[in-house]
């Protein structure tokens, strides 16, 4: 199996800030609609695709969640000179905003640039302070009158950056979590015999609090859950071995825990055993800070679920230069498909 780089490029570059996921949602539907038994969109905007199980007399359900939203912004003010102030949607390190282009999605798309006070006019004490989010503004090179013909308060803003290949890696904005959207699409296309009913859920608003996964899990009430998301690959200069979490090219990652979830030990064992049986390269993941849809999948169904996660090692998270290794992406698809086809063979008793 090879990575379909063009499809991944289309997925990563499609806009979809939290609460404004429609462009990426429509792309997903076009890709999956002929490969599933049925699909629907719930009130939150989650896409729920179903492939019926082939060995499922008891009606068991497995929910696989991949969030489709990306970190972004919201227009909150346009001043008299046409400069835009914004509200963040998701977590940002302020220094990553410097010298970036963005796209404001109004009546038409408008390109803007992130601006801040020039270093040449900063006082000495200002130069030594880290930047703050509220010190940035967006410059579109237009007057207030021109802007207000196409932009209004509340319009979403996304970051502008195309996907490129770098060696054996792909690099783009929004690898988090569009690489998982790609993986789930490929699993829906390639799986032949899911043991139990396979609910592939492309969730909304993860970056602002696991909101879509919570609602979808409550609706589906899955017996089993697997979340797909990126994780930190801190295999960079200066990193201590115990700080790395995962390494790029080290294989797909099996989550053990993060700040919001302790994965079910039975699911962790099953994913490890399945990877070994299929000679899929994998590495363990323990993430001290941050969380993913795993928490919603695990806890928000009416009965809870036996839940875990497959994570994709990624460098430079929440920047426009996120990087993932193609072999880790392929391994994640292979592990997900194998797990869904063999989940009936494991013992799930305590």
Catalytic residue among 21, 186, 206, 322: 206
- Residue 82: how many other CB atoms lie within 10 Å: 19
| DSSP 3-state of 344 | helix
CA–CA distance, 185 with 202 (Å, rounded to integer): 9
Buried b or exposed e, range 224-250, using 16+ CB within 10 angstroms? bbbbbbbbbbbbeeeeeeeebbbbbbb
CA–CA distance, 196 with 341 (Å, rounded to integer): 8
The reply to whether 341 belongs to the active site is: no
Which H helix or E strand runs over 36?
none
Are 17 and 157 spatial neighbours (Cβ–Cβ below 8 Å)?
Answer: yes
One-character DSSP codes across 208-277: GTSHHHHHHHHHH--SEEEEEEEEEB--STT--GGG-BS-TTS-EEEEEE-SS-B--HHHHHHHHHHHHH
Give the rounded distance of the alpha carbon of 163 from its chain centre: 15
Are 196 and 61 spatial neighbours (Cβ–Cβ below 8 Å)?
Answer: yes
User: Looking at the annotation, which residues are catalytic?
Assistant: 206
């Amino acid at each position: 199996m090879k990575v379909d780089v063009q499809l991944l490029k289309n997925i990563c570059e499609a806009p979809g800030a939290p609460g404004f996921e429609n462009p990426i949602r429509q792309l997903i539907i076009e890709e999956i609609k002929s490969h599933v038994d049925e699909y629907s969109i719930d009130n939150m905007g989650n896409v729920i695709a179903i492939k019926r199980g082939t060995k499922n007399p008891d009606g068991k359900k497995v929910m696989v969640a991949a969030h489709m939203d990306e970190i972004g912004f919201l227009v909150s003010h346009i001043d008299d000179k046409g400069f835009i102030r914004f509200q963040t949607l998701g977590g940002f390190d302020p220094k990553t905003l410097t010298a970036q282009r963005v796209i404001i999605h109004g009546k038409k798309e408008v390109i803007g640039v992130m601006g801040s006070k020039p270093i040449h006019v900063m006082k000495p004490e200002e130069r030594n302070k880290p930047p703050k989010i509220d010190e940035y503004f967006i410059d579109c090179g237009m007057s207030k009158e021109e802007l207000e013909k196409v932009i209004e308060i509340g319009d979403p803003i996304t970051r502008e950056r195309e996907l490129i290949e770098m060696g054996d890696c792909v690099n783009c904005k929004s690898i988090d979590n569009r690489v998982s959207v790609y993986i789930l699409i490929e699993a829906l296309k390639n799986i032949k015999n899911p043991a139990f009913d396979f609910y592939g859920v492309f969730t909304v608003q993860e970056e602002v609090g696991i909101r879509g996964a919570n609602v979808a899990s409550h609706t589906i009430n899955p017996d089993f859950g697997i979340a797909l998301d990126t994780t930190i690959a801190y295999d960079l200069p200066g990193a201590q071995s115990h700080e790395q979490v995962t390494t790029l090219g080290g294989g797909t990652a099996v989550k053990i825990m993060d700040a919001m979830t302790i994965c079910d030990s039975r699911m962790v064992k099953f994913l490890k055993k399945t990877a070994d049986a299929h000679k899929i390269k994998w590495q363990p993941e323990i993430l001290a800070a941050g969380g993913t849809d795993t928490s919603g999948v695990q806890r928000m169904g009416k009965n809870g679920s036996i839940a875990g996660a497959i994570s994709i090692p990624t460098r430079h998270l929440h920047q426009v230069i996120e990087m993932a290794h193609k072999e880790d992406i392929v391994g994640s698809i292979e592990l997900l498909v194998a797990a869904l086809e063999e989940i009936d063979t494991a013992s799930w008793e305590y």
